[in-house]
């Protein structure tokens, strides 16, 4: 019961009015940063660190953590309302989120995303309190070969995202892989597809690509049918989810929590992987999988839960091992260090009061986010009432600012514009965008882990099959890839209707 006592002590510290204010400010700022397309959690947290240097350690870390998970929620808002992902990890939410907006269910989508985020974040924090140590060790079991095998499972889910045409899905996926190849080869050090431009040595910025392909191309495609009005803002009554929507979201939220929590424990995973795989899981396992892509609540609730569960679970390796599991956490770790706190087990012995206050604030922050966002759903949806010309201009402005702030360079603005044109072309050719995002996110991680694995085994491919975890995962991946083929060969009469 020691843990509980210390947690209660943490709550006492976190509930002082100053710290509550910091948590609230962090949630609010995080939501705003999340709403702005392109300005991501990394940039957001990094920009605000200098401001917090003079605050006391507990307060400043509480605020930065709140910003960090607040952005995960804020990213949803523009994804759902405007088909423009505010964050990379919300890119997949655009598919069903925007479809729901077109059906007049924008309010329901946002409410369910907020509730899902709350559940995911809270469950992950409970894990942090009661099982941090074993969970942290669990994450370490995933070495490069296991990581690679996990990526194989991820890429195999391309099959699930294919939609009408497998060929078009593969075209889209291959494009994503090609784009992710640009830059310095992570192992041999040779520049690839950089055309002698040193700006391209780091590759094209993922955020600029996502904002361009999804957001800008959406705005560009308005031109074609500018006479037809945009989606209507829903009335006050349709803001709340219906009973059916609640019921359908529950299993999706549960799956999203599982996916996000599990992947969040693994150092090197990003929130985008969680939301993508959660969407793919819905495509595979949801009872309503055939409605996904047409405005199914599962497509919003699942990924949005997953990325919040991931954001909170990713703090476990930081607290137990002192390892930043993702780029955002690395920035957060920098803030810890600047305050003279070394993340890791020592934090609980040397500064246990602060450590528990931060953990308590995670619970408080998740509640604050829920309280902040559900009432604001009405306000956010009223964005849709703004006349189209003004709205698109404002969005465009924010996209340009967002792309610029990634590296403070105009180059990324042009990248964003270029990929906006590409996205428009793909839309007109009816090529789905989701497979491209999947390979863009997973491609570099897969390449890196493949090559690290082969360096460990010194070129021996059996490293993937001789280790139990990776062997099982590779098997699962192969099964998923083969599943449509198996169905194809079965006589029609034998295939059972999954919904029967």
State the angle between helix axes of 57-82 and 2-14 in degrees (0 to 180), rounded to the nearest 10.
80
Site residues (CB under 8 A) for another protein, limited to 247-276: 267-268
Q: Is 184 helix (H, G, I), strand (E, B) or coil?
A: strand
In the complex, least distance from residue 87 CB atom to another protein, rounded to whole angstroms? 18
Q: Is 142 near another protein (CB under 8 A)?
A: yes
Q: Is 214 near another protein (CB under 8 A)?
A: no
Q: Which stretch binds another protein (CB under 8 A): 43-51, 169-177, 373-381, 470-478?
A: 43-51
In the complex, least distance from residue 293 CB atom to another protein, rounded to whole angstroms? 28
Q: Which stretch binds another protein (CB under 8 A): 15-23, 84-92, 234-242, 386-394?
A: 386-394
Q: Is 46 near another protein (CB under 8 A)?
A: yes
Measure the CA–CA gap between 404 and 488, rounded to whole angstroms: 48
Q: How many CA atoms lie within 13 A of 218 on its CB side?
A: 26
DSSP string, 63-117: HHHHHHHHHHHHHHHHHHHHS--SSGGGTTHHHHHHHHHHTT-HHHHHHHHHHHH
Q: Which stretch binds another protein (CB under 8 A): 65-73, 99-107, 215-223, 286-294?
A: 215-223
Q: Which stretch binds another protein (CB under 8 A): 101-109, 136-144, 286-294, 358-366?
A: 136-144
Site residues (CB under 8 A) for another protein, limited to 388-447: 388-390, 392-393, 396-397, 400-401, 404, 407-410, 413, 417
Site residues (CB under 8 A) for another protein, limited to 285-344: 317, 321-324, 330-335, 337-338, 340, 342, 344
Burial 36-54 (b: 16+ CB within 10 A, else e): bbbbbbbbbbbebbeebee
- Of 410 and 429, the one with the shorter C-beta distance to another protein is 410
Q: Is 199 near another protein (CB under 8 A)?
A: yes
User: Shortest CA distance to 120 belongs to which of 277, 6, 250, 270?
Assistant: 250
Q: Is 187 near another protein (CB under 8 A)?
A: yes
Is the Cα dihedral 443, 448, 453, 454 positive or negative? positive
Q: Is 460 near another protein (CB under 8 A)?
A: no
- Of 46 and 108, the one with the shorter C-beta distance to another protein is 46
Measure the CA–CA gap between 233 and 238, rounded to whole angstroms: 10
In the complex, least distance from residue 223 CB atom to another protein, rounded to whole angstroms? 6
Q: Is 190 near another protein (CB under 8 A)?
A: yes
Contact residues for 236 (Cβ-Cβ < 8 A; gap 6+): 378
């Amino acid at each position: 019961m020691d843990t509980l006592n210390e947690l209660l002590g943490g709550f006492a510290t976190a509930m002082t009015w100053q710290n509550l204010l910091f948590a609230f400010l962090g949630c609010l700022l995080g939501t705003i940063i999340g709403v702005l397309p392109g300005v991501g959690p990394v940039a957001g947290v990094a920009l605000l660190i200098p401001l917090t240097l003079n605050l006391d350690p507990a307060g400043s870390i509480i605020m930065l953590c709140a910003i960090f998970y607040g952005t995960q929620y804020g990213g949803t808002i523009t994804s759902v309302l405007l088909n423009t992902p505010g964050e990379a990890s919300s890119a997949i939410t655009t598919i069903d989120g925007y479809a729901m907006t077109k059906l007049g269910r924008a309010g329901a989508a946002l409410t369910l995303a907020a509730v899902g985020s709350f559940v995911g974040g809270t469950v992950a924090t409970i894990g942090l309190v009661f099982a941090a140590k074993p969970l942290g060790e669990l994450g370490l079991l995933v070495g490069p070969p296991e990581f690679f095998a996990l990526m194989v499972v991820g890429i195999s889910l391309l099959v699930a995202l294919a939609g009408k045409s497998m060929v078009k899905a593969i075209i889209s996926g291959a494009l994503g892989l090609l784009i992710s190849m640009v830059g310095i080869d992570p192992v041999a050090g040779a520049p690839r597809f950089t055309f002698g431009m040193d700006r391209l040595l780091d590759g094209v910025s993922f955020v600029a690509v996502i904002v361009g392909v999804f957001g800008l191309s959406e705005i560009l495609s308005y031109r074609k049918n500018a006479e037809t009005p945009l989606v209507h803002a829903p009335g006050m009554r349709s803001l709340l989810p219906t009973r059916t929507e609640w019921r359908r979201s529950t299993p999706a939220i549960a799956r999203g929590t599982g996916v996000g929590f599990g992947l969040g424990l693994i150092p090197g995973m990003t929130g985008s992987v969680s939301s993508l795989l959660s969407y793919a899981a819905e495509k595979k396992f949801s009872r309503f999988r055939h409605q996904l892509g047409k405005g199914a609540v599962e497509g919003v609730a699942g990924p949005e839960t997953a990325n919040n569960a991931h954001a909170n679970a990713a703090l476990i390796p930081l607290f137990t091992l002192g390892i930043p599991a993702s780029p955002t956490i690395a920035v957060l770790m920098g803030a810890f260090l600047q305050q003279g706190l070394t993340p890791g087990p020592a934090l609980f012995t040397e500064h246990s009061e602060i450590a528990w206050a931060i953990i308590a604030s995670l619970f408080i922050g998740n509640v604050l986010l829920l309280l902040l966002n559900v009432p604001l759903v009405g306000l956010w949806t009223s964005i849709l009432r703004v006349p189209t010309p003004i709205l698109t201009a404002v969005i465009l402005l924010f996209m340009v600012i967002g792309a610029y702030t990634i590296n403070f360079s105009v180059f990324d603005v042009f990248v964003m514009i270029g990929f906006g044109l590409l996205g428009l072309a793909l839309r007109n050719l009816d090529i789905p965008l989701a497979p491209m995002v999947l390979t863009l996110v997973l491609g570099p991680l897969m390449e890196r882990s493949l090559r690290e694995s082969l360096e460990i085994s010194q070129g021996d491919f059996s490293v993937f099959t001789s280790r139990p975890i990776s062997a099982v995962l590779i098997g699962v991946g192969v099964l998923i890839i083969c599943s449509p083929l198996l169905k194809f060969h079965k006589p029609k009469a034998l295939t059972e209707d999954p919904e029967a």
